[in-house]
Structure 1
Amino acid sequence: MASLTPPVSIRHGVRCVTANGVNVEEVLLAVGQEIGYENISSASRMNKAVVVFLKEENHVNHLISSGIVGSGDFVTVLPLVAPTIKVTVSNVPPFIQSNEIERELLRLCYGLCPHMTVENRDRLRVRDLLTAYYDLDYHHNPRGSSYWRNRVMKVASKYTGRGLTFSVANKKDFLSELEDDFGLGTSDGGELPFVTIRTKLGHKYTMREEFTRDGLSLERFLDDYFAGRLKRYVKSEPVPERNSGAVKVVVAESFDDIVNDPDKDVLIQFYSPSCPHCKKLEPVYRELADTLYYDPHIVVSKMNAADNDVPLGYDVRGYPTIYFAPAGKKDEPIRYEGGRELKDFLKFLKREASHGLVSGGSKDEL
């Protein structure tokens, strides 16, 4: 037992309790994700409950209204109606200050259901990540924000330990990304959450079924994901009906068929229609394709990277970016860093090609 005086008024305190009891760490993580760790003053264990003191009274009303979720269980949050003088300590300091919370629990905070923002998205996306996008705004819509997050958490608790992290995000903060990466319009999903999965390898999936309040649609989506039944979302232009030109046109949907053909050496140029450097290169690139048109082992191709997803293994940060995907080694594409004259490309290909180059029906002697 220890006698401690709370550092703030009793009006700043809340009591968190479930039928099975909760621990300090789980409560602090849940409270911190709901209102921000910086708004927690201190916390303590009291019998089977956890008492948390907050820096502002308005956060007390928020937590009482919304409740929190700890380890998948809903935690009731009650006002602290009487001062806490005696505190039962169980292998932890009776009070954990906010700076210690951030230091000790940072490694755990991403494992529940964090609020993904533009600032922290890169840190979250180092793992396979499910995100529910909706009108998440704890200042103007605290009840709705907590309601949907709790629904996601309830379902997420059934899939723990399977390598998927869960998060929620404000749809308005990611509208352009959702449109560019998932092909979503501004009206898709309406007021209901829109759910996506983005793996650390860059694979993307969308839940097309409407998010139901009982969570069953999300469970079906996750069951299909873990069973490998979902089709990956790929942003792609239509596959050309005719593709008989010397320079083969590649889109995301045809990338595997053309560039990843295991029997072909493939030169692939990633370009943007608006890029002046790409336009300057076009006649040279077409001449290269014409020169090698009769070579049965090599393909000269191009893909509009502005309107198609670029596959993993290809680092495209500017245009044009050119790679060589050798036959039998498609997981080891070689970035082309040479000059942009015909002789430069031919010299590179003669060095890297799996077969001698064929030009106009005869072996190239370069």
Structure 2
Amino acid sequence: MKVGGKVITSRLIFLCLGSKPFAPPINGLKETGFLTSDTVLKLERLPKRLGVIGGSYIGLEYGHFFSAMGSEVTVVEMMPRILPMEEPEISSVAEKVMGKYMNIFTNKRVVEVKKEGNSKLMVAEDLTSGERSVFEVDEVLVATGRAPNTDILKPEKGGIEVDSKGWIITNEYLETSQPGVYAFGDANGKYLFKHVANYESMVVYYNAVLNKRIKVDYHAVPHAVFTYPEIASVGLREKDAIKKYGEENVLIGLARYEDTAKGEAMGVKDYFVKVILRKDSREILGAHIIGPYASILIQEIVNLMYTSDKTYTPILRGMHIHPALSEVVERAFFNLMEPSQYHHVIREHFHWI
């Protein structure tokens, strides 16, 4: 490995390059100036009006933060819904609630950013009608994903293969195409979460240092969105489960927060736990939660998905403290139904979805 004019040699090399914010080629963006997740917290003065390009995890988390601090936040997302990687009903509830404290616009692409006096203007085009809207803000935060750092390191010069986007290619042991060189965390572009990097570092330690052959297991990678409301997911979405196993072999469980004693006491509405199971084996395929403490509630399910049979039996047999919010997870597994019935129930309970 060459650093400056010095060549460093080692029996083992770990590539932990992280990633960087991706900024799309928007006319005038660079000239006008913008913030990213790497720079936004370096602001010394709270912007009165913050424009956010991107309505997924990073954009909504920072939108929530600045809204809570007192900024007027406008989020522009080009997809038909915010959080496009989440279940549609999760996105729908999130947009309904977040829309109370942020201005959210979907199906619009920002095509230009320009300066006007002390303000910045975001020009967005509706992807259906072509109609243009102009949003006047003080600062623009770009939250449109992450990009690899391999353009700096240039690992391909050392014979290390990268994919078409620049992420380092690794096998199931997190080895690169060069012996003794491993890549983990954002560098391999698989799952850009800190907890995944923590897990991968353990796999690399066992394989590289202890000479084991441990394969990575990504079948139940959890994630959370730290907004209000909080969101957490793990495993397959409904459409992916149906595509893989067939609708006739999928069951869905549903429980609303408000139908538990704790949820009623908290006065929360419209929040729920959705679980997805394989009908023939009772294997947990996925879970999706929106509501308070979602990131904590989902851990019980994540842990079961890493057991040998991956079933929900321990949840049914174990006692859940009453009145605790964990009862909403238990109730979801007691309330299983066919996908068609689930969507009927969803429409009845959440008529605006």
TM bracket, shorter-chain basis: under 0.3
**Radius of gyration: which is bigger?**
1
The answer to which structure, 1 or 2, has the higher relative contact order (CA under 8 A, 6+ apart) is 2
